[in-house]
Amino acid sequence: MSPTASSREQLPRNRTREVRIGSVTIGGGRPIMVQSMCATKTADVEATLAQVSQLAAAGAGLVRIAVDTLRDARALAEVRDRTDANLSVDLQENYRLAAEVAPRVDKIRYNPGHLYHHEREKPWQDKVRFIADAAAENDCALRVGVNCGSVDPAKREKYAEGDSVGPMLESALEHRELLDRLGFTRYCVSLKDSDPRTVIEVNRRFVLERGDVPLHLGVTEAGMPPEGIVKTRIALEDLVRRGIGDTIRVSLTVPAARKHEEIEAARRILDDIAAGRFHDEEDSRLLRLNIIACPSCSRVENEAFVELAERVREATRYAADQAITIAVMGCRVNGPGETDDAELGLWCGPTFVNLKRGGEKLGAFSYEEILPKLKDELDAIIAQRAQSGR
């Protein structure tokens, strides 16, 4: 065993309950497991298998794959037949796909905020029961994946504007309570936000309520390296040092061929924490102009999304000292909601990019037209702030 792997195992651990996921077990004081997600189109079996192999070889204990359609589910069956890697599936609106995918994976991740999209007349509790039954019948674990940008609107309306922690925490706790009541305890929870400070607060508060439940940690839409690694490091350094976290992901906006960098960055962060090496406060200066971008995955509707995120960063460097958030999202699943809290938001379709300022839609533009439009809006915000003395 290498010195770094040995020191990694000495990190403080909260004594959460054990949850088996295929050939690995999280919780119970075990070392933190690192995971990642495929960026390939799930229906492209050969590309997805190559990505699974790449991530497993880099050290991923679990590889997540998105399934949105029956076509994806059938492709997943072939992937399962041809790999021994531990697989997780990511469900969004169509909760009924749980029955199709559960026989082929080791864990199902569902997002409480997306359950209301499908069969709206049906109570969310019945949908969770369906997912839990499918998991129990097929030797699967679950992850309750709560995300800042996709909390159920009814939940969000109960809290003051700007309170992102309250709705996320309530959602996680009520799903935890239901699963326990159903007798399904083979689950973990994740509470993710694009702001590392929010990630720290919401996870600390969850642990105070239910410290026995294993947690998956990460900063969602962390963006491109190095900024995305810095944001994730800030959150993980605080939480892991407190013994919080049983599995982690560094979510980076990189091309599919570079997804292994998520694993490498995660292991490096854990090694540094174990060795007492922490981020320099100077690194935080990288985050003043905050470009958040979702990690590339199979839902990205145009692979030019990753290149666009890089172009946005280059085109806006002149505003590096401005405390402004620009969100660049790659698909319709999370794009609309997760751009609302940014001053400027882009979410990408197959041939166009939607531009938003706050919650206001400004129009859809081609990939060639979008940068000048974005810069016009950015300049207007900077001018407005200068005029008001901010």
pLDDT score of 287 more than 80: no
On whether both 240 and 329 belong to a single domain, the answer is no
Domain CATH code at residue 351: 3.30.413.10
On whether both 123 and 226 belong to a single domain, the answer is yes
**Residue 291 included in any domain:** no
**Residue 290 included in any domain:** no
The pLDDT score that the predictor gives to residue 286 is 61
For the chain, state the CA radius of gyration: 20
**Residue 220 included in any domain:** yes
Task: Tell me the C-alpha distance between 367 and 354, whole Å.
Answer: 10
Residue type, 379: D
On whether both 199 and 304 belong to a single domain, the answer is no
Residue where a domain terminates, one of 262, 285, 308 = 285
pLDDT score of 1 more than 50: no
On whether both 92 and 142 belong to a single domain, the answer is yes
Domain span at residue 353?
300-388
User: Residue with structure tokens 């080791």?
Assistant: 106
The pLDDT score that the predictor gives to residue 3 is 46
On whether both 168 and 109 belong to a single domain, the answer is yes
On whether both 242 and 326 belong to a single domain, the answer is no
155-175 pLDDT, tens digit each: 899 999 889 999 999 999 999
The pLDDT score that the predictor gives to residue 4 is 56
On whether both 130 and 231 belong to a single domain, the answer is yes
On whether both 312 and 172 belong to a single domain, the answer is no
Domain CATH code at residue 173: 3.20.20.20
104-149 pLDDT, tens digit each: 999 999 999 999 888 999 999 999 999 999 999 999 999 999 998 8
**Residue 191 included in any domain:** yes
Average pLDDT, the chain: 92
- Angle formed by the axes of helices 227-241 and 260-275, nearest 10°: 40
Q: Read off the tokens for 67.
A: 């399934």
On whether both 224 and 135 belong to a single domain, the answer is yes
Is 368 in contact with 307 (CB distance < 8 Å)?
no
**Residue 294 included in any domain:** no
**Residue 293 included in any domain:** no
The pLDDT score that the predictor gives to residue 185 is 97
Residue where a domain terminates, one of 222, 256, 285 = 285
Average pLDDT over residues 248-257: 95
Higher-confidence residue of 14 and 340: namely 14
Residue type, 260: H
pLDDT score of 201 more than 70: yes
**Tally of domains in the chain:** 2
On whether both 44 and 7 belong to a single domain, the answer is yes
**Residue 28 included in any domain:** yes
**Residue 295 included in any domain:** no
Which residues pair with residue 93 across a beta bridge?
Answer: none
On whether both 317 and 277 belong to a single domain, the answer is no
On whether both 129 and 175 belong to a single domain, the answer is yes
